[in-house]
Amino acid sequence: MKISIKISKDGLDSLNFVLQKSSLVRSITREERTNKSILEEVARKVYLMHGNFTGNKPKKFNLKYHQASVLEYWLRSILPSVSMINNDYYLQIHKIANELHQELV
């Protein structure tokens, strides 16, 4: 199953910024290692899309269901720490997490 969301340049910048930090997450259990592996796949996809993004028109971002689920869960878990760094990033990450949730439900 595929999940598609529309993502703006600002949203992609924010998502790329926080996913770069996902490699710093320490994973101990099997479930944590699985989630980290999925996040690394998503981070690669976001990085490639970020490099090729031109213009200001929102683009469609496709994820597999398990990727969208793990990404939404992880974004919700880091929202409090992102709000301390930059309010603009917080708003964009919150918007992306909400869009993912809408598509997953």
Q: What is the pLDDT of residue 83?
A: 62
The predicted pLDDT at position 85 comes to 65
- What is the predicted pLDDT for the residue at 21? 79
Contact 19, 70 (CB under 8 A): no
pLDDT of residue 80: 77
Ranges of residues in the chain whose predicted pLDDT is under 70: 82-86
Give me 37's structure tokens.
Answer: 């592996």
pTM over 0.85: yes
Q: What is the pLDDT of residue 84?
A: 67
Alpha-helical runs (H) found in 21-86: 30-52, 65-85
